Every structure is written in structure tokens, then in C-alpha cells.
A and B are shown apart, each in its own frame.
Chain A
């Protein structure tokens, strides 16, 4: 069974600085998808960025980028120029390529942004 591990329960960053959140996963599949979701205090789950495993190029969305290391099964999220609105819980999630529909989530990392 696939698993997703986020080893950092909490992280903090100074406003305007860069922070990296870690995620590792375990799977025997060769084709899959990885996501980072943001959950602010409002509880709403918001997709931040997605990565297809077959793509070697790391995904980027504005200030958010990933470092996808397929062999190491690592999928970290880098937030550049951190803003106060980035404070939230961040979840790494895995989705296999099969028609299962299942998203498997990590335990989450709470990010604090200090002014």
C-alpha cells in the first residue's frame, strides 16, 4: 500500500524568506501524481501545486515550486518570498495512475510565518 510521510509537524519562516517542506512517499507504481494542498485556518483545502511522475521537470506555480526526486521518492515544496497569508497546514498527497480515485495524504506540516 502507498504511504505518504511528512516528517516536519511544524515549521516557521520569516516573512519574505524561503522555506522548504519535506514529503516522502512509498509506492511500487511507476506512474502516479503528487500534490500539495494548503489548509488555512478557514479549513478550506486548496490545491497549491501538482506533479506528474512521468515529468522530469519540477512543477512551479508562482512562488511555489517542488523538488521532485523520483528515485528517492521525495517531493518537497519550496515557498519563496513567504507571505503572512502562506501560514497554514500543508498536506502532501499521492494519487496512483490507476482508476482508484484515492488521494492518500501525509500527516501535514503547520507553517508559521513571522512578520
Chain B
């Protein structure tokens, strides 16, 4: 299996621009998670989906952030407009199911976002 795929791996943009991060979960996994990692705040869960439906978006920092999962094999995280404080590594993870806590989440390689 190819694992969780994220694109781009690196993104440099200017403040005010729209940024779209993409994720392809592992085939057959029906739960998908978006995390953000910064030095100050560590790893934070932003939002997660089960069967393409957003379950909890309480971690999404502001209305500038939005996430979609139009089908089982694709998700996007969009920031519009971007700000320098959004600079971070964004991870996507998938899991076979969200039922029960012992199920491993498989992480993608992350997207390093830099907003100038």
C-alpha cells in the first residue's frame, strides 16, 4: 500500500493568498484526520471525518480554515486568506475506523507551509 499521500510536501506563499493542502488516505480507511504541528503548540487535531462526514471541527482555528472530503479517497484543507501565523507542518492521517480508541492512525509525510 502507498500509505497516506499528501501534496504538496512544501508550500511557500505570501500573506493573503489562498492555500490548499491535499490528502489521499489509505484505501479502505474510513476515518481521516487533519493535524497541525508547530513549535509553540505541538500537534493539534484540527478536524476529522468519518465516512466523508466531518465529525468534529472544534480544532479548526478560525473561519479562514475549511476542510472538505468529497469522497473516500480525497480531502482538502484550505486556508483563505493565509497569514504568517499559519506557518506550520500540516499532517493528514487515516484510520480503518473511528470506533474504539485502539485503532492506529497512519500519518502522511506532512506539508510544510510557510506564509511570508
B102 touches A91 (CB 8 A): no
Q: Assuming A102-B56, A105-B42, is B101 touching A32 (CB within 8 A)?
A: yes
Find chain B residues with CB under 8 A from A52 CB. Answer: 102
Number of interface residues of B (CB under 8 A): 24
User: Which residue of A50, A91, A103, A107 is within 8 Å of B45 (Cβ)?
Assistant: A103
Segment at the B interface, from A17-25, A71-79, A92-100: A92-100
* A85-115 with Cβ < 8 A to chain B: 91, 95-108
Find chain A residues with CB under 8 A from B42 CB. Answer: 105-108
Find chain B residues with CB under 8 A from A64 CB. Answer: none
Find chain B residues with CB under 8 A from A45 CB. Answer: 91, 93, 107
Q: Assuming A50-B102, A99-B98, A102-B48, is B43 touching A43 (CB within 8 A)?
A: no
Find chain B residues with CB under 8 A from A44 CB. Answer: 107, 109-110
Could you tell me the distance in whole angstroms from the C-beta of B8 to the nearest C-beta in chain A?
14
Question: What is the count of residue pairs linking A and B with beta-carbon distances less than 8 angstroms?
Answer: 55
Is B50 part of the binding interface, using a Cβ–Cβ cutoff of 8 Å? yes
Counting chain A residues whose Cβ lies within 8 A of the other chain, the interface size class is: 20 to 34
A91 touches B99 (CB 8 A): no
B89 touches A101 (CB 8 A): no
CB-CB nearest in chain B for A103: B105
Residues of B at the A interface (CB closer than 8 Å) are 31, 33, 42-43, 45, 48, 50, 55-56, 89, 91, 93, 95, 98-102, 104-105, 107, 109-110, 112
Residues of A at the B interface (CB closer than 8 Å) are 32-33, 35, 37, 42-47, 50, 52, 91, 95-108
With A105-B42, A106-B42 given, can you name 18 additional A-B contacts, CB distance below 8 Å? A44-B109, A50-B102, A52-B102, A91-B43, A95-B102, A97-B100, A97-B101, A99-B99, A100-B98, A101-B31, A101-B33, A101-B48, A101-B50, A101-B56, A101-B95, A102-B56, A107-B42, A108-B43
